[in-house]
Structure 1
Amino acid sequence: MKNLLTPEQQDQRTQFKTFADDVVAPLAATVDSAQSMPREIIAKLGAAGYLASMVPRGPGKPVLGAMAYGFLNEELGRTCQSVRNLVACADMVAHSIYRWGSAAHRDEWLGRIASGDAVAAFGLTEPRVGSDAKSVQTTANRVGSEIILQGRKRWISFGQNADVFIVFAKYEGSHTAFLVDRHSVGLSVQPISDLFGLRGSMLGEVVLDGCRVPVDGLLGRPGTGLSFVASSALDVGRYSTAWGAVGLAQACLDASCRYADERVQFDVPIKGHQLVQRMLANMATDTVAARMLCYRAGVSREAGDPDAVNQTLMAKYFSSTVVGRIANDAVQIHGAQGISSQAPVQRHLRDAKVLEIIEGTTQIHQSILGQYAVVAGRS
């Protein structure tokens, strides 16, 4: 991979790796077991410039390009998927505010999200609405100078501690996005705990019971909620998840290689057993292949290629699928050690499964990419 990168990109990868190893890795197990995200990590991410890093934030604060952003998410994903998810949520919301929000929205929230002072959440999913995002049941009605929101949003990452939400609702019969302050009258959050994976993502069910939002809280124009705001934000989330899956695959491979070298059975290290070698070979190959698909997506995004959305979908689909197999083999190689609550690989396996669900399920990606393959094959 190094020979494909510029010296600047190599330096960025080293910088991100150092941060992940020094700041994130020591707290990863605690984030998982405590099911919470320490404010100290959020503050350090903000101080390092790793939140809202792809939107302009003022003089002296460089914007990360698509490739650098990918490397950042790979390293965060290698050490803690919940932290990587925090960054993705912040970026999805910041991207939406920067692209579709008013000047007042940008002034109020972008700096706070970037510094870590404000946690952001993306409120699309509902109790009965997941992949079929166009069927949201939350409603928005204008009453005088306010918008009244009624409904529930479920499985919302960082819903428990978010300061600002993007909420999607039916307004005048159309899918529309709104920016909602945590302290808005009529908004409450019910914590969701004991998840299978990404346990530090502090999920919540956001209850909007006559929630009052100023009319200028509308993000974009009425009717653009799904086709513009949600679709572009989810594209950012998928790109983050794709690279994060590569990082998780690398963590599984590294742990498995170390253990296979140290663990002796039948008088030889298990790395000498052919069936273990087969698993390691598949893990290494799939990790490299996933990384190259992400690299291709990053190059397409930086070039402004219209096909970058499909390249990102392909990278997310492949990387999130193979990391499940890689994590499963990592636990198998570790044997009884792998299913211990103290073993990082069991956390990796749980997190890997979640990556096949968030930002679009594997089956949704297969459907979209199947249609894309037919069209691409004709051109």
Structure 2
Amino acid sequence: MTAALTAEQEQARTEFRAFADRHIAPHADAWHRDQRTPPQTVRLLADAGLLGLPVPREYGGGGRDAVTLGLLAGELGRACSSVRSLLTVHTMTAHAIARWGSAHLKRTWLPRLARGERVAALAVSEPNAGSDAAAVSTRLVRDGDDWIAHGHKKWITYGEIAGLFLLVGRAEEGPTALLVERDTPGLRTELIEDMIGIRASMTANVYLDGCRIPGANLLARPGLGVSHVAGAALDLGRYTVGWGCAGILDACLDASVDYAGRREQFGSLIKEHQLVRRMISDMYTSARAARLLCLEAGRLRDERHPGALAAASTAKYFAAAAAGRAAADAVQLHGANGCSSDYPVQRLLGDSRVMEVIEGSAQLHQVGLAEYAFQERAPRSAR
């Protein structure tokens, strides 16, 4: 697997792993229980340049390639899926600004996001609009040069601490995207607690009650909020979530190998039992396969290849499903210990279930991937 990376990428992976092992992994279970990410952890990520890793260098970011961003997402996902989620939503918003923002918005926000001065969040999902982003009902009404927003956003990852929201609402022209600052009058957040997974991600309800948003905060033109702005952001999000799932697979494998090598039952270490070896071999194979799919998706993304969208969807779909199976097996292998918060596999199981829902549910990817298959493989006469 190492040979598939450039020397620069391999060095970056080594640095990311060391950072995650030192600053993230030892605290992940405590953050999971507390349902909070400490502000000093966000600051550590920012000071290390990790929140601005893919932001263009001209705006103060790292300007790194997609494969390198994926490697970071994988190491953070191995250590703590909540922290990986911060990387995902922050870079999704930065990517949307870099691609669709005006020169003014790029100059204003990209340097601040690269430095981590503000945490950014994607405000698309609503109580009745999840995977179907085009179904958003938050109202955007023009008032002179400004927009007035009324609505309720839900399941907004890191919405409780975000200083900038990429809001998608419905205008007369169709779905429209705007940047909204936290201190905008009429905007308030409410923390959502006791989720099954990514419990430290400070997910929130976001309420918009007559928020006045400057017209200069518009991303792309009205009507393109989903097809162009959110679409580009969600594609990057699904890519980094796929890598995060590869990280969960690594964490399940590490925890299971360690436990099986120490736990004795019926007079021998459980690693000697054939069914335990079956679970370990499945985890090992899935972890390698997921990583290879993610690497392919990253390379195609860097090449701006037309197959990059399908590759990212494939990687996310496979890795999320495999992470769910691996986490369930890891809990089973740990027995009653796996059901307690004394072992990380309980957290990994909850996190893995969330991964099969976010950035497009497993069923949504099945529909899309089947369509890709028909387009690519059907006889020309049948197309």
Residue of structure 1 in register with 2:197 after alignment: 197
Residue of structure 2 in register with 1:276 after alignment: 276
Residue of structure 2 in register with 1:315 after alignment: 315
Give the 5 Å matches for 1:239-318. Answer: 239-318=239-318
Q: Is the 8 A contact 2:55 2:61 kept in 1?
A: no
Residue of structure 2 in register with 1:6 after alignment: 6
Residue of structure 1 in register with 2:342 after alignment: 342
The alpha carbon displacement at 1:60 in A equals 7.5
Residue of structure 1 in register with 2:208 after alignment: 208
Residue of structure 1 in register with 2:111 after alignment: 111
CA distance in structure 1 between the aligned counterparts of 2:190 and 2:219, rounded to whole angstroms: 25
CA distance in structure 1 between the aligned counterparts of 2:187 and 2:99, rounded to whole angstroms: 25
Residue of structure 2 in register with 1:22 after alignment: 22
Give the 5 Å matches for 1:61-100. Answer: 61-100=61-100
Residue of structure 2 in register with 1:331 after alignment: 331
CA deviation digits over 1:141-179, x for unaligned, max 9? 111232100111011011111101011111123111010
Q: Secondary structure at the match of 2:209?
A: strand
| Structure 1 residues without counterparts, runs of 5 or longer | none
Higher alpha-carbon deviation: 300-309 or 247-256: 300-309
AA matched with 1:165? F
Q: TM-score, normalised by structure 2?
A: 0.97
Residue of structure 2 in register with 1:52 after alignment: 52
CA distance in structure 1 between the aligned counterparts of 2:116 and 2:39, rounded to whole angstroms: 8
Higher alpha-carbon deviation: 340-349 or 4-13: 4-13
Q: Does 1:365 align with 2:365?
A: yes
The alpha carbon displacement at 1:59 in A equals 7.8
Q: Is the 8 A contact 1:256 1:333 kept in 2?
A: yes
Residue of structure 1 in register with 2:157 after alignment: 157
Q: Is the 8 A contact 2:163 2:182 kept in 1?
A: yes
AA matched with 2:121? A
Matched length: 379
The alpha carbon displacement at 1:53 in A equals 1.6
AA matched with 2:45? L
The alpha carbon displacement at 1:340 in A equals 1.1
CA 1:99–1:326 in 2, change beyond 3 Å: closer, same or farther? Answer: same
CA 1:373–1:299 in 2, change beyond 3 Å: closer, same or farther? Answer: same
CA distance in structure 2 between the aligned counterparts of 1:70 and 1:216, rounded to whole angstroms: 32
CA 1:280–1:118 in 2, change beyond 3 Å: closer, same or farther? Answer: same
CA 1:60–1:89 in 2, change beyond 3 Å: closer, same or farther? Answer: closer
Residue of structure 2 in register with 1:228 after alignment: 228
Residue of structure 2 in register with 1:182 after alignment: 182
Q: Is the 8 A contact 2:141 2:171 kept in 1?
A: yes
The alpha carbon displacement at 1:107 in A equals 2.3
Higher alpha-carbon deviation: 311-320 or 56-65: 56-65
| Structure 2 residues without counterparts, runs of 5 or longer | none
Higher alpha-carbon deviation: 337-346 or 100-109: 100-109
Q: Is the 8 A contact 2:52 2:61 kept in 1?
A: no
Residue of structure 1 in register with 2:170 after alignment: 170
Aligned-pair identity in percent equals: 46
Q: Secondary structure at the match of 1:346?
A: helix
